[in-house]
Every structure is written in C-alpha cells, then in structure tokens.
Amino acid sequence: MFWVLLLAFVILLGILAAAWLVLRRGDIGYADLEHRYGGPTSRFLTTNDGVRVHYQDSGGPPDAPTILLLHGFSASFADWEPWVERLRPNYRVIALGLPGHGLTQAPPGYRAGINSFVAIVASLAQALRLPRFVLAGNSMGGRVAWQVALDHPERLDGLVLINAGGWAREPSRPANSFALRLLTNSVGRFVLRNLDLTIPVRQALKTALGDERLVTRDLVTRYTDMARGPSHRDIMLSVDMREDQPARAEQLARITAPTLVMVGLEDRLVPAGDGTRFADAIPGATLLAYPGVGHVPMQQIPDRSAQDLDRWIRTRVSAR
C-alpha cells in the first residue's frame, strides 16, 4: 500500500509540474507590447514619481474641445477606440493608460490607488497644458474621474460617468464575475499572478460586454497580453477595489462641473442603480439609461453613446 501511495504522489507531482510548465505565463516586455499595440497617436510622458505614462492623442481640429478618457480596472486605453474613431473629427480625444494597465510603466514598489491615479491625471493635464477639458471615466475610471472633479474642479469643463464605481458595497455581497471572485481568495490571486489568464479574461469580458459576439479572440489576446506587462499583475492585485472612502451624497454635491451619467441597465459588475445615485447626488446631472446594455456602452453601442455624448457637450458644455 505504501508503494502505491508513493507512486500516486509522484504521479500527482508530475502532473502538477507539467501543468505549471504549460500554463505559466511570464511578463511581456514593454517594447514588445508597444510594438504590438502602440500606434501613430501613442505618446509618453514621465511623471515626477517615475511613472512613464502612455496616452493616445487624436489631435483634432484647431481649438477643438478636449475629452480625456479613463478606462476601468484591468482594461486599457484601447477600450475607447470606438469612441475615439467617432469623436475625433470634432474633438481632441486623449485616452490615458493608468499605472498597472496598458502600456504605462510604473517603477518598482509603485503604490496604486485612487489618489495616485488622480495625480496621474493632474500631471498629464499640466504637462499637456490643458486649461480645461471634459473628463470621462468608465467603472474604476469613473471612480477616478469624480475624485478629480472634487480635487481639481478648476480643470473640468464637464464630467462623464459611465457605469462608474465608488458606492459602498455590502460586505456579504458576492463578486459578480469569475475574475473578480478570483481576486478575493489566495488561490485565485496566485492564478492571476502566475498562470494563463485566457479563461478568466474571456469570462470577465463576457460578463462585461454581455454579448459573446463581441468577445473575439483578438480582444481576449489583447487583454491577456497587456496584463502581462512587467509589474502590471502586481499593481492590479494591490489596488483596493473596496475603496477606503466610498461615495457620499453630501460629498458629490460639491461637484460643480456639468455632469453626464451613462448607465447600462444590464450591467452585471456595477449595479445600474448606482448611476441613479450619482445623478441624484450631483447637482444638475443628466442621466442616460440604456436598456439591454451592460458595463461598457462605448463598446456595446458606440454610435448611440458617442452621439449622446456629442449632443450633451454641445448643449450643456459648449453652450455655457
């Protein structure tokens, strides 16, 4: 019996070792990622704390209003491509990569969080000499955006919150996606840090987009590749998704920028009711709710959502 158990143990170790060799995924160098996913509109700047920030700048017509776009958790600047394509004829559109995401490089030991992300936005605005701009954020990017509106109101012509995060969640409430559930336990965090992310990424995209036809092989590959930038996985796993200071109605009431709140009513990651809470709390906010749409309206309904944004800017921002 002893020898049978020993043989079974050795076989199990062999299987685990083979699985490790097959599934383990190391980093992809930034130069390689830039070659794959950068483009003619890619730009870089280095902040005082050593972050090499990547952003894409569409240029736009002379004196065109500027729109600055902030992606969500584990996403990247590339999520905004459908909007950039539609808005750049009339606007200067800048899509920013936050540390731990996309092509942005953070130094060793970088501490990720809402305040450090807000500082990145302020540094970029100062470096590009943007006097004022419309700031739009999706999910975690929305959380960053409304904090910018509170901390730097002098910067903003307008604020756009798209299925934005920030409201407190009940501690007992389960995560709404496979990838988020992985973040909440040690085994899952080990998988996200070391192994092939194709399955959790594909599942997370299906949850976010709500339409499997949009979850293409190229899209999954782009997400998994960008997650493998050096230090990216460490930074993403270190971001506190619970938020130390969740949104409060009396706090949001201090926002003075014209505000547009976009909500996909079928969002399975951020409750659609949070959009109503933002719209109720921010003075004069406009709420647009999209039936049948999930977490990322700019990808699911790019024509309609971009047209709605353009119309709102023309009537509520440019007309001021």
Domain boundaries, the chain: 30-166+242-317
pLDDT at residue 188, as a whole number: 47
Give Cα separations from 230 to 27, 30, 42, 235, 236 (angstroms): 5, 7, 19, 10, 11
pLDDT > 70 fraction of the chain, expressed in percent and rounded: 80
Task: With a cut of 70, say whether residue 297 has pLDDT above it.
Answer: yes
Q: How far apart are CA 153 and CA 33, in angstroms?
A: 35
Q: How far apart are CA 109 and CA 106, in angstroms?
A: 8
* Helix, strand counts (H, E) of the chain: 14, 8
In the 8-state DSSP scheme, what is residue 173?
P
Question: What are the residues facing 43 on neighbouring strands?
Answer: 55
Q: How far apart are CA 189 and CA 192, in angstroms?
A: 5
In the 8-state DSSP scheme, what is residue 136?
E
Task: With a cut of 50, say whether residue 10 has pLDDT above it.
Answer: no
Residue type (1 letter), 123: S
Q: Are 74 and 223 in contact (CB under 8 A)?
A: yes
Question: What are the residues facing 137 on neighbouring strands?
Answer: 70, 161
Q: What is the mean pLDDT of residues 106-133?
A: 91
Q: Is 43 exposed, middle or buried (0-12, 13-18, 19+ CB in 10 A)?
A: middle
Question: What are the residues facing 69 on neighbouring strands?
Answer: 95, 136
pLDDT at residue 196, as a whole number: 64
Its sign, for the CA torsion 284, 290, 291, 294, is negative
Least confident of 14-28, 225-239, 266-280: 14-28
pLDDT band at 195 (very low <50, low <70, confident <90, very high): low
Question: What are the residues facing 46 on neighbouring strands?
Answer: 52
In the 8-state DSSP scheme, what is residue 176?
S
**Average pLDDT over the chain, rounded to an integer:** 83
Tens digit of pLDDT for each residue in 64-98?
Answer: 999 999 999 888 999 999 999 999 999 999 999 99
Q: If you search the block for the tokens 């800017």, which residue do you land on?
A: 313
CATH number of 30-166+242-317: 3.40.50.1820
The helix (run of H) or strand (run of E) holding residue 202 is helix 198-209
Q: Is 164 exposed, middle or buried (0-12, 13-18, 19+ CB in 10 A)?
A: buried
Task: With a cut of 50, say whether residue 318 has pLDDT above it.
Answer: yes
Least confident of 163-167, 189-193, 315-319: 189-193
Q: How far apart are CA 114 and CA 126, in angstroms?
A: 18
pTM of the model: 0.86
Q: How far apart are CA 99 and CA 106, in angstroms?
A: 6
Beta strands in the chain (DSSP E): 42-46, 52-57, 66-70, 92-96, 133-138, 156-162, 259-264, 286-290
Coil, strand or helix: which one is 66? strand
Tens digit of pLDDT for each residue in 122-177?
Answer: 999 999 999 899 999 999 999 999 999 999 999 999 999 999 999 986 543 444 54
Residues 6+ apart with CB under 8 A from 272: 163, 263, 264, 265, 266, 289
Q: What is the mean pLDDT of residues 216-231?
A: 86
Q: Are 139 and 163 in contact (CB under 8 A)?
A: yes
Tens digit of pLDDT for each residue in 12-70?
Answer: 444 433 433 444 456 888 899 989 999 899 999 999 889 999 999 998 888 899 999 99
Task: With a cut of 90, say whether residue 7 has pLDDT above it.
Answer: no
pLDDT at residue 168, as a whole number: 80
Task: With a cut of 80, say whether residue 236 has pLDDT above it.
Answer: no
pLDDT > 90 fraction of the chain, expressed in percent and rounded: 55
